[in-house]
Amino acid sequence: MPVEIVGPVDTNVQDCERILRALPAYFGIEEALLQYLKDIVDMPVFFALLNGKSIGFLAINRHTKLSAEIHVMGVLPEEHRKGVGGALTAAAEQYLKSDGVKILEVKTLGESHPDKNYAGTRKFYLTQDFLPLEEIPDFWGKGLPTLFMVKHL
Ligand SMILES: CC(C)(COP(=O)(O)OP(=O)(O)OC[C@H]1O[C@@H](n2cnc3c(N)ncnc32)[C@H](O)[C@@H]1OP(=O)(O)O)[C@@H](O)C(=O)NCCC(=O)NCCS
């Protein structure tokens, strides 16, 4: 059965938590994970469903009439590299574009940090045509370099 993308829908926080907790190499800081779960309550969310069960999600933070951000996204590890992340991104972009959004942003760990998992995440965003705009050494106040990536929709 093919993966189905639904959204924007109200956040199902339980499903998002299950997916984030399945990705400890990316969301291993408990405080940050709980903050994400709080943040996404009021955000439009897209889910990827396989046999009716959520295997991935993407939450959107709308900044202005013209700009929005992928606040957080994740796909269950066993479903990586099957096109699910790309399908979630495409669905979110289509929705935002039809609502007049021109700039989509995402913030992720910058390349001056040696983490190999986030090197994969940056590659993923590059394949989705995001451009690396700027790295800020300590944007989150946790000593981690933050890369701002942007895409013109
Ligand atoms: C980033 C993430 C959402 C991508 O989801 P995905 O379903 O695996 O992505 P796709 O299958 O659509 O990948 C599309 C392309 O991106 C690139 N890509 C994706 N993950 C990659 C990785 N780990 N390393 C290198 N390239 C990667 C590949 O070119 C891939 O195409 P290919 O498999 O045909 O080579 C997923 O890896 C994930 O959940 N990561 C952990 C959480 C995270 O980093 N979230 C983003 C920060 S908020």
Q: What is the mean pLDDT of residues 32-60?
A: 97
Q: What is the pLDDT at residue 133?
A: 98
Q: Which CATH number fits domain 4-152: 3.40.630.30, 3.40.50.720, 1.25.40.10, 2.120.10.30?
A: 3.40.630.30
104 with 71: CB under 8 angstroms?
no
* pLDDT at residue 140, as a whole number: 84
pLDDT tens sequence across 93-104: 999 999 999 999
Pocket test for ligand 1, best of 72, 80, 139, 148 (most atoms within 8 A of CB): 80
Task: Read off the pLDDT of each residue in 100-121 and give the average, rounded to a whole number.
Answer: 97
> What distance in angstroms lies between residue 80's CA and the mean position of ligand 1's atoms?
6
**Cβ neighbours for 98, distance < 8 A, ≥ 6 positions apart:** none
Mean pLDDT of the chain: 96
Q: In sequence order, which ranges of the chain are alpha helices (DSSP H)?
A: 13-21, 30-39, 84-98, 116-127
For residue 1, what pLDDT band results from cuts at 50, 70 and 90? low
**Interval 139-144 mean pLDDT:** 86
CA distances from 124 to 10, 15, 82, 117, 147 (A): 26, 22, 12, 11, 14
Both tokens of residue 54? 């959520």
Residue pair 106/134 in contact by the 8 Å Cβ criterion:
no
Q: Could you tell me the distance, in angstroms and rounded to a whole number, from the CA of residue 133 to the centre of ligand 1?
A: 20
This prediction has a pTM of 0.97
* Segment 31-43, tens digit of pLDDT: 999 999 999 999 9
Helix (H, G, I), strand (E, B) or coil at 128: coil
What percentage of the chain reaches a pLDDT higher than 70?
A: 99
Structural domain boundaries of the chain? 4-152
Per-residue pLDDT at 82 exceeds 90: yes
